[in-house]
Amino acid sequence: MTSEQGGRSSHLNSGAGQGSGGVRRRDDAGRERNRSTGRNRTETAPGQRTRVADPARLVAFEVLRAVSADDAYANLVLPTRIRKHGLDRRDAGFATELTYGALRAQGTYDAILAKCVDRPLSELDPAILDALRIGVHQLVAMRVPTHAALDQTVGLARAVIGAGPSGLVNAVLRKVAAKELPQWLAELTDGLTDEVKIASITHAHPEWIVRSLRQALVAHGRDVSEITALLEADNAAPVVNLVALPGVGNLAEALEAGFTPGELVADSALSSGGDVGRLDSVRDGTVRVQDAGSQLVARALAAVMISSEKPDGEERWLDLCAGPGGKAALLAALAAEQEAWLLANEPAPHRAKLVSQALAAVPADSWTVRTGDGRDIGKEHPEAFDRVLVDAPCTGLGALRRRPESRWRRKLSDVAELGPLQRELLNSALAAVKPGGVVAYVTCSPHVAETIAVVEDVMRKRDDLELLDAGAALDAVSISGALGAGNATSAVPSHRMMAQLWPHIHQSDAMFLALIRKN
C-alpha cells in the first residue's frame, strides 16, 4: 500500500480551516494535522459539521456497497457511478484510487478497525463498515490531510447513513488517525513468526493466497523471496493496456492521446490513466483494452508451428471458452490475416452476445460464434481444429491488481471446485484438435492446482500428446524476445516446457500457458 496523490485540492484540503486559535502543522509523513487547543473540525458544533457527501467519496462508497451487497465487480460499477455523478478527470482519479485502494487493502484495514471498534466488525452495519474502510484508506495510504479525511468521511456517513452512525464513524476514525500505517502494521504483526501471516497482514492478501503464490513461484523455478515483490505488484495501480487488432485497427489515435507504445508485445499501448472510452478506435472495437499477458498467449498460439493436415488450405481455430471476447477478438483478427477461420464458443447466451460484439470489427467471414457447452465440442467436432485455445475458468489470482475485490471473495475451496471443469474442458479441446494440431491451455492464475497439475493429470492418461516449449513460444511473439517466462532449471522435464508470466516481472497479469501438440 503506497501513498498516492488523489483528486484535486478540494479533496486534499476540504475542512482545512484552522479553527478557533488553531494552527496547521505537518507530521513526519507530511500530513497536515490540526493541533489547535480549541475545537477542530471534527469537534465543531453539530450545526457547523459537514452534512453533504463529497461526490468523489460518494462514488467510492456506492461502489463498495455494490461490491459488498450485490457481489458486483468494481471495474464494471465504477465507470457508471463516475458518469452518474458527473465527476471530472481529477475527481474521477480520486474516486478510483479511493475505491480500489479500500478494496485491495480491505483485510488489513479491517484488522486495524477491529482494534478501534468495541464490538466484532460482523456486528456493524455493512454500510458503516464500508464508510470506515474509505476513511481508513484516506488516513493511512493517501495524501489527504487528517482533518479533511475525518470531516469528509463523517459528512458522507451523515448524508447517506444517518447522524447516529456518523458519530461512530467519527470516533473510530479518530482512533485510526492516532497512528501511521507502519505503526499499525507493527502492532498487528507484533509477536508473529509465521512469514505467511505477516505477509498477509502487511500486503493485504488472504493467507491461503499468499501460501499459494509462494508455492507457484517455487514450482516455476523462482525464489520464494520474490513473494514480497509479487504481493506489492498486486497492490499497485494497474496500467491500462490497449491492443490494435491486426489488420483492422491502429494505435495512432491512442498515441496522439498520450498513450505510450507497449514494451512487451507489438500493436500494444499503455496508459496510467484517462478514459479510454473517449477514443473513437476503442468505441468502434478496432482497438481494445486487453492485458499484455492475454495478448501474448493468444499470439503464441497463433504463431506456433503445427503439422496438421489442411485439405482445403484453410486452418480452423477454436476458442473453447470465448466470453467475454477479448482473446477471441485478437485471435479472429490473427486468423483473418492468416486466411484461417475461428469458432468462438461460449456457453452463456448473454456472454455469447458480448463475444459477437467483440468480434464485430473483424471481417465476418473469419469467425462464427457458437453458444454451447465447451465440454461437448470434442464429441460433436472430433479432430476438426488446427489450433484450440482453452482459456479455462479459474480463480483469477493472476489479475488481483485489476479485480481488487476478488482476493476477499475467492476461497481456497474454489480451486478444488474448478479443477474438474478445467480438466473436462482440456480433454474436450484435445478431442477436438487434429493430429498435428496444438491446444493452448491458459489460465489467469499461477496456482499450481489450476495450471501444472491440470496439464500433467490430463497428459498422464494419454500417450499421443507432446508438450511444446511455451516459454520459447512467448519469446517468439514478444518485442524483447527474452521474457524469461519458462522454467529452464526445473528438475521435472514437463515443468520446463510450461510458462508463467508474473506481474512483478513482466508488468502483466499472471498468465499461465501450456502448449500441447497431439501426435
Residue in 100, 98, 82 with CA at minimum distance from that of residue 135: 98
Residue in 460, 404, 424 with CA at minimum distance from that of residue 206: 404
Distance, first Cα to last Cα, the chain: 49
Residue in 260, 294, 262, 284 with CA at minimum distance from that of residue 274: 260
- Residue 431 CA to its chain's centroid (Å): 32
- As a whole number of angstroms, the distance between CA 331 and CA 395 comes to 23
- As a whole number of angstroms, the distance between CA 22 and CA 39 comes to 8
Length of the chain as a residue count: 519
- As a whole number of angstroms, the distance between CA 118 and CA 172 comes to 9
Point out the catalytic residue in the list 116, 321, 394, 444: 444
444 annotated active-site: yes
Assigned C-alpha cell, 232: 506489492
In sequence order, the β-bridge partners of residue 63 are none
Non-local CB neighbours of 205 within 8 Å, separated by 6+ positions = 107, 199, 213, 231, 234, 400, 407
Burial of 164 (0-12, 13-18, 19+ CB in 10 A): exposed
Assigned C-alpha cell, 250: 491502429
Q: Evaluate the CA torsion angle 114, 119, 125, 126 in order and state its sign.
A: positive
Residues with catalytic annotation? 444
